[in-house]
Amino acid sequence: MFEAIAFYLFAFLTIAMFFITVTTSQALYALTALAAGMIFISAFFFILGADFLGAIQIVVYSGAVMALYAFGMMFFDTTREVKEKNGNKYIVVGMSTLAAILVVAIFAAPMVSENITALYPVIEGAGNTQQVGMVLFTKYLVPFEVAAIMLLVAMISGIVLAGKKMDLSLTLYNTAEIDDMKKDQAKKVLS
């Protein structure tokens, strides 16, 4: 009973928030609605018993990704109204077709997977976090390490792309001009 109430409440809230995100013309409203929707999604993870995933959802999305977007938006002109594409008829038709195929596939999937067996079944007598740790560090150790390297590469590329000489608009100059600028700065320091 409470599960049903919670499910419908959070489903309504999540759909409303994401609808605001894709329809509003203000970038700040979109950012705020997206952050709220992410928090509401974590409620589904808690209902489904995936506690660790819910905590990760709040920490990573609302903490890291939204903060990154908020800092990134400082570089863009977000006060301006966002222009929209004119509705293309073919795109609407294609989108509706894709959504219909998805719905059919969803209702057909349980019939196909009647005799499915759990590959890594839930371990008895352990909390969700413990189970996740057991599976992640035995069966999925290599993908975990690859994901760690991927995050490192993404961090370095983010720093290199966004962080160098933020006052100078480095991308507009070529290498020789940058060298000249460095020499000029060195002269200023000496004189």
- Regarding 7 and contact with another protein (CB under 8 A), the answer is yes
- Regarding 36 and contact with another protein (CB under 8 A), the answer is no
Q: Which of 79, 89, 102, 174: binder of another protein (CB under 8 A)?
A: 102
Rounded-to-integer distance, Cα 14 and Cα 37, Å: 5
Minimal distance, residue 6 CB to another protein, in Å? 9
- Which residues does 27 contact at the CB level (< 8 Å), separation at least 6? 73, 76, 78, 82
Q: Which of 130, 158, 179, 183: binder of another protein (CB under 8 A)?
A: 158
- Regarding 137 and contact with another protein (CB under 8 A), the answer is no
Q: Which of 75, 112, 142, 176: binder of another protein (CB under 8 A)?
A: 75
C-alpha distances in Å from residue 115, one per residue of 26, 107, 109, 110: 49, 16, 12, 10
Q: Which of 89, 106, 167, 175: binder of another protein (CB under 8 A)?
A: 106
The one segment of 103-111, 174-182, 183-191 that binds another protein by CB under 8 A: 103-111
Q: Which of 9, 93, 97, 122: binder of another protein (CB under 8 A)?
A: 122
CA dihedral (98, 102, 104, 110) in degrees, to 10, reads 160
Residue 91, CA atoms < 13 Å, CB-side half-sphere: 4
Q: Which of 97, 130, 157, 185: binder of another protein (CB under 8 A)?
A: 157
Nearest one of 120, 28, 33, 124 to 79, comparing CA atoms: 28
Rounded-to-integer distance, Cα 175 and Cα 186, Å: 17
- Regarding 58 and contact with another protein (CB under 8 A), the answer is no
Residue 107, CA atoms < 13 Å, CB-side half-sphere: 5
- Regarding 169 and contact with another protein (CB under 8 A), the answer is yes
Minimal distance, residue 174 CB to another protein, in Å? 13
